């Protein structure tokens, strides 16, 4: 009788602990891609931006170690977007010519697996600057682009109030600091992008989403598969 009582007490004490450990282990399991099986999406049609207009300049930081991960994340320095977004970007680029500027692209389509690595290796207090892999990024859908401007006369990138992928208040498109000229360049870029149905990310002056992003599914295809 005493043994049965002791067994019952141990069960009542340790069962909640087992359940807690199981919950913790489950929450730390690796993310999987968002389930899109119940949604009707457009067929992907990712195109290389510079094949539509070779005068769009590229500075694909994630193909180098010059990024916040401090190592190459892409196998090649390419930028892809879904065709409607890519064509709209070309129109933005050509509109800017009359102002003496062109587009300088840092990033376009991003495989989901790279987004997962960003999340895993970013400190929790900085994760507002990276996409949650459980939801997927608009970059993963091929409908987001990171970019700046370059001067057509010099070929050099223009100054902005904050740097690309800078995890600080200067990243905001509403940041009031920097010089008047830097803010003018940032606002010129935003105005030009908005004229072709891109919207700026509230926390990143360089990040723009194309209006139809929700019509495409999250992808995890490598650049080699796209080509």
Q: What is the pLDDT of residue 16?
A: 45
Q: What is the pLDDT of residue 33?
A: 67
pLDDT in tens, the chain (227 residues): 444 444 444 444 444 444 444 344 344 445 566 665 556 899 999 999 999 999 999 999 999 999 999 999 999 999 999 999 999 999 999 999 999 999 999 999 999 999 999 999 999 988 988 999 999 999 999 999 999 999 999 999 999 999 999 989 999 999 999 999 999 999 999 999 999 999 999 999 999 999 999 999 999 999 999 87
- Give the architecture-level CATH label for domain 45-226: 2-Layer Sandwich (3.30)
Q: What is the pLDDT of residue 149?
A: 98
Q: What is the pLDDT of residue 77?
A: 97
Q: What is the pLDDT of residue 3?
A: 47
Rounded Cα distance between 81 and 83, Å, is 6
Q: What is the pLDDT of residue 35?
A: 60
């Amino acid at each position: 009788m005493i043994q049965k009582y002791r067994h019952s007490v141990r069960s009542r004490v340790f069962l909640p602990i087992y359940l807690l450990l199981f919950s913790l282990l489950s929450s730390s399991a690796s993310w999987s891609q968002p389930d899109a099986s119940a949604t009707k999406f457009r067929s992907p049609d990712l195109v290389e931006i510079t094949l539509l207009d070779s005068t769009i300049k590229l500075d694909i930081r994630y193909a180098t170690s010059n990024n916040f991960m401090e190592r190459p994340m892409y196998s090649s320095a390419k930028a892809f977007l879904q065709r409607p977004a890519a064509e709209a970007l070309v129109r933005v680029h050509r509109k800017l010519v009359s102002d003496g500027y062109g587009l300088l692209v840092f990033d376009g389509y991003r495989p989901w697996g790279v987004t997962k690595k960003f999340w895993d290796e970013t400190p929790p207090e900085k994760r507002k600057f990276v996409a949650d892999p459980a939801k997927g990024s608009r970059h993963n859908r091929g409908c987001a682009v990171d970019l700046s401007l370059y001067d057509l006369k010099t070929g050099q990138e223009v100054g902005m109030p904050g740097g690309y992928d800078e995890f600080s208040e200067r990243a905001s498109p509403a940041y009031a600091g920097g010089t008047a000229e830097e803010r003018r360049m940032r606002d010129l870029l935003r105005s030009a992008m908005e004229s072709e149905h891109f919207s700026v990310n509230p926390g990143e002056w360089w990040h723009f989403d194309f209006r139809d992003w929700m019509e495409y599914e999250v992808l995890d295809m490598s650049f080699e598969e796209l080509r």
